[in-house]
């Protein structure tokens, strides 16, 4: 703490802060006030693996040691800065969270367009800690549910995982996590982070920075200064720090001196549903690799019930021996009796195509082409699709052939945009820019503002042109605002729906700490608020700040603002610094309609402010008998009532 305070005073202040939020606690305890938008919160799930292992025997063998990671991380200055923790966190938060050293202005500008100086993170350790070779579907489900239960509280998620099956877990989570709007990053190490030589330190810190500083709504895998799409990775080297690669797709992020994000390549779900996880995974799936001379009996045994889905690894661009009528007949029979078979290549790079007659023969036998999916992605996708109980067989086949999480390359004709060629190149010529890097930097600078301008002008064709030429739908301008912020501030449902359909993030906060939902509330547009909440938006303001706005609305008879806050999920019992609620103010100002609405929305007439007054007692003292009857339509109120999360009953005068 920054001032001397005796224990009794500290205890009194903490009791006073029971109804206050974390920001108010920081002020009361003289903790430095840090803008909320400059702090990111990341949840770290430590499942096991080499990254956290310690030497457990005299021969130098590594093994996981329960409950040792957090104490060790606290002792390493790279992973925890105690001075920063005291500056930005309450005492309770210091017990729960660790925090990276403050990022410099230069570094934070590399982390994100909107600066994040502080990365706070909480480590949740699994019990037992697992070697990734022992991972199974139940462990994938456990990880997914942990993320789901904490999704609203954190800005991003990091999963510490063993390397052997990390690509499988990354692929599985990419399908299990539906309507994802926040980053989930898996990482690990070839050497534990506590060793003098370790790749784990860079992998872990890089993952924390990306998870906290970037809004990349994908499941990713971070290793050796590269961040890959999770369902595009394979482990291809067991003895190198470059353990993982993405054979058919470049990295999403390159962690060089500057951090480079391939924003046009970021996969966005583009729907308006809340985040959820699908945990019903089919276990009756497997991988069958063809080889010269494979017998019919081998294939027949593999395709027998209870097998429901098979990843068939074929030669080259998806070829199988078409002169083996026995095999083709058997495969055709299996697809007819309901086994889903997906064809992928045995090659590390390349995709399945019907360029040869041998490939056409498989498609004619009912085999589904799997494009350039990795074996890990194809297997996990089969398990996910077969677990969708409400899907018909035709729907499952359709979804297996479709790119649903960025797991396969979709080949489309290259299209040019007038925005790209006329405007960008015209400005580049004016500024005497010539290199590809310079023109790329110009696009990064112009696109966010052009998107915001197009949203303000309600010009959907212009937005489409910008997106088709490589603009990021969630790109932020110099104020940290996106096109979705602008559309919500105007209350334009058509533009908002269009942007959400293109994958715009409802979670991004501008430089004031406001997400698009705040803009929608301030514009008092209920339909826009509803679609944002449906998509998973949550109010970023502290309850005490919301309470001030509600109280002001009640004082000025602004029922529409109160309706907007309620639609956005605000608690109508939020209290200001004097513990006064909007109902207190509405009663004091004799706002009958607002009192009725607040009561119908869950406001409590017995909530006491810091002076011990409830809205009911205020109405009684002021002689507002009509309001007393509204609050107590069935006669006198009970003598005592207890508020939610309150330890003491509130007495009614």
- Whole-Å CA distances, 5 to 9, 11, 13, 20, 113: 6, 10, 10, 20, 39
Residue 530: band (very low, low, confident or very high) from pLDDT cuts 50, 70, 90: very high
Give every strand in the sheet of 156-160, ordered side by side. Answer: 98-99, 118-130, 39-48, 156-160, 184-187, 219-223, 226-229, 253-255, 259-261
Residue 488: what pLDDT?
97
Residue 332: band (very low, low, confident or very high) from pLDDT cuts 50, 70, 90: very high
Which residue has better confidence, 525 or 652? 525
Which residue has better confidence, 23 or 80? 80
Look at residue 72 and give its three-state secondary structure: helix
Residue 469: what pLDDT?
80
Share of the chain above pLDDT 70, in %: 83
Which of 47, 50, 165, 272 is an active site residue? 50
The answer to whether 343 touches 314, Cβ cutoff 8 Å, is yes
| Torsion angle of the four alpha carbons 197, 201, 202, 205, in this order, in degrees rounded to the nearest 10 | -170
- Whole-Å CA distances, 232 to 151, 219, 366, 389, 635: 24, 10, 25, 26, 67
625 is catalytic: no
Which residue has better confidence, 34 or 328? 328
Mean pLDDT of 70-76: 93
Task: Phi first, then psi: give them for residue 552, nearest 5 degrees.
Answer: -60, -40
Residue 12: band (very low, low, confident or very high) from pLDDT cuts 50, 70, 90: very low
β-pair partners for 160: 46, 187
Distance CA(593)–CA(589), nearest Å, equals: 11
Residue 28: what pLDDT?
42
* Position 185 pLDDT exceeds 80: yes
Residue 645: band (very low, low, confident or very high) from pLDDT cuts 50, 70, 90: very low
DSSP letter for each residue of 48-60 = ESGGG-EE-STT-
Distance CA(267)–CA(609), nearest Å, equals: 48
**Mean pLDDT, the chain, as a whole number?**
86
Closest residue by Cα to residue 408 from 225, 267, 226: 267
The answer to whether 341 touches 312, Cβ cutoff 8 Å, is yes
Residue 257: what pLDDT?
86
Task: Phi first, then psi: give them for residue 195, nearest 5 degrees.
Answer: -80, 160
Kind of pairing between the strands at 285-289 and 276-277? unpaired
Mean pLDDT of 43-63: 84
Mean pLDDT of 519-531: 96
DSSP letter for each residue of 200-260 = HHHHHHHHHHHHHH----SEEEEETTEEEEGGG-EE--SSSS--EE-TTS--SEEESSSEE
Report helix angle 483-490 to 493-501, nearest 10.
150
Kind of pairing between the strands at 309-314 and 259-261? unpaired
First to last CA, the chain: 40
Residue 36: what pLDDT?
65
* Per-residue DSSP letter, 191: S
The answer to whether 225 touches 171, Cβ cutoff 8 Å, is no
Distance CA(146)–CA(124), nearest Å, equals: 9
DSSP letter for each residue of 366-432 = TPEE-TT--HHHHHHHHHHHHT-TT--HHHHHHHHHS-SSS-SPPP------HIIIIIIHHHHHHTT
Residue 33: band (very low, low, confident or very high) from pLDDT cuts 50, 70, 90: low
* Position 551 pLDDT exceeds 50: yes
Task: Phi first, then psi: give them for residue 250, nearest 5 degrees.
Answer: -65, 165
Residue 642: band (very low, low, confident or very high) from pLDDT cuts 50, 70, 90: very low
Residue 23: what pLDDT?
47
Residue 604: what pLDDT?
95
The answer to whether 371 touches 381, Cβ cutoff 8 Å, is no
* Position 218 pLDDT exceeds 90: yes
* Position 31 pLDDT exceeds 50: no
Residue 446: what pLDDT?
84
β-pair partners for 651: 640
Residue 194: band (very low, low, confident or very high) from pLDDT cuts 50, 70, 90: confident
For the segment 255-293, what is each residue's pLDDT rounded down to a tens digit?
A: 988 899 998 899 988 888 999 999 999 999 999 999 999
Q: How many CA atoms lie within 13 A of 358 on its CB side?
A: 14
Residue 486: what pLDDT?
96
Q: How many CA atoms lie within 13 A of 407 on its CB side?
A: 30
Report helix angle 325-336 to 296-303, nearest 10.
10
Distance CA(370)–CA(187), nearest Å, equals: 27
Residue 414: band (very low, low, confident or very high) from pLDDT cuts 50, 70, 90: very low
Mean pLDDT of 459-472: 88
Mean pLDDT of 48-61: 80
If one counts every other C-beta atom within 10 angstroms of the C-beta of residue 10, the result is 14
Q: Return all residues near 69 (Cβ < 8 A) that are at least 6 apart.
A: 46, 52, 123, 125
């Amino acid at each position: 703490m920054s001032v001397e305070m005796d224990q009794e005073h500290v205890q009194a202040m903490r009791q006073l802060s029971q109804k206050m939020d974390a920001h108010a606690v920081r002020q009361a305890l003289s903790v430095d006030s840090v803008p909320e938008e400059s702090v990111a919160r990341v949840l770290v799930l430590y499942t096991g693996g080499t990254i956290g292992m310690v030497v457990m025997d005299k021969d130098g063998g590594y093994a996981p040691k329960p409950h040792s990671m957090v104490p060790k991380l606290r002792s390493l200055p790279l992973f925890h800065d105690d001075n920063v923790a005291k500056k930005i966190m309450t005492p309770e938060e210091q017990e729960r969270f660790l925090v990276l050293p403050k990022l410099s202005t230069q570094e934070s500008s590399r982390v994100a367009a909107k600066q994040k100086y502080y990365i706070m993170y909480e480590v949740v350790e699994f019990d037992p800690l697992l070697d990734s070779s022992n991972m199974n579907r139940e462990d994938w489900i456990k990880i997914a549910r942990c993320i789901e239960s904490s999704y609203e509280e954190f800005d991003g998620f990091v999963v510490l995982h063993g390397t052997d099956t990390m690509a499988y877990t990354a692929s599985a989570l990419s399908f299990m996590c539906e309507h994802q709007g926040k980053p989930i990053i898996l990482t690990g190490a070839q050497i534990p982070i506590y060793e003098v030589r370790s790749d784990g330190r860079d992998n872990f810190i890089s993952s924390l920075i990306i998870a906290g500083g970037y809004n990349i709504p994908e499941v990713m895998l971070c290793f050796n200064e590269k961040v890959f799409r999770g369902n595009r990775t394979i482990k291809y080297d067991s003895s190198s720090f470059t353990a993982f690669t993405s054979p058919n797709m470049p990295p999403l992020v390159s962690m060089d001196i500057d951090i480079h994000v391939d924003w046009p390549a970021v996969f966005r779900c583009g729907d308006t549903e809340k985040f959820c996880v699908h945990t019903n995974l089919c276990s009756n799936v497997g991988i069958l690799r063809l080889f010269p001379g494979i017998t019919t009996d081998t294939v027949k045994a593999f395709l027998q019930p209870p097998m429901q889905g098979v990843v068939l690894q074929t030669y080259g661009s998806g070829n199988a021996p078409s002169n083996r009528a026995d095999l083709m007949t058997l495969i055709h029979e299996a697809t007819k009796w309901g086994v889903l078979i997906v064809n992928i290549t045995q090659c590390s790079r390349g995709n399945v195509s019907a360029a040869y007659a041998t490939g056409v023969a498989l498609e004619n036998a009912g085999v589904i082409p799997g494009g350039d999916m990795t074996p890990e992605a194809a297997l996990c996708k089969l398990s996910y699709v077969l677990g969708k109980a409400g899907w018909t067989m035709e729907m499952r086949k359709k979804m297996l052939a479709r790119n649903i999480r960025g797991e396969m390359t979709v080949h489309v004709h290259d299209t040019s945009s007038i925005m790209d060629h006329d405007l960008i190149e015209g400005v580049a010529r004016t500024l005497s820019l010539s290199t590809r890097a310079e023109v790329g930097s110009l696009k990064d600078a112009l696109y966010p503002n052009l998107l915001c301008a197009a949203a303000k002008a309600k010009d959907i064709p212009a937005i489409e042109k910008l997106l088709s030429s490589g603009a990021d739908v969630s790109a932020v301008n110099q104020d940290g605002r996106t096109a979705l912020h602008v559309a919500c501030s105007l209350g334009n449902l058509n533009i908002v729906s269009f942007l959400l359909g293109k994958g715009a993030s409802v979670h991004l906060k501008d430089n004031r700490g406001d997400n698009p939902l705040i803009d929608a509330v301030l514009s008092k547009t209920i339909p826009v608020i509803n679609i944002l909440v449906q998509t998973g938006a949550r109010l970023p303001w502290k309850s005490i700040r919301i309470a001030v706005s509600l109280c002001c609305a009640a004082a000025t008879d602004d029922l529409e603002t109160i309706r907007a806050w309620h639609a956005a999920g605000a608690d109508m019992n939020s209290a200001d610094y004097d513990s006064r609620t909007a109902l207190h103010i509405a009663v004091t100002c004799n706002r009958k309609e607002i009192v009725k609405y607040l009561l119908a929305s869950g406001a409590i007439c017995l909530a006491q402010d810091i002076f011990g007054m409830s809205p009911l007692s205020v109405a009684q003292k002021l002689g507002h008998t009509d309001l007393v009857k509204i609050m107590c339509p069935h006669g006198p109120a009970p003598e005592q009532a207890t508020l939610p999360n309150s330890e003491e009953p509130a007495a009614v005068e």
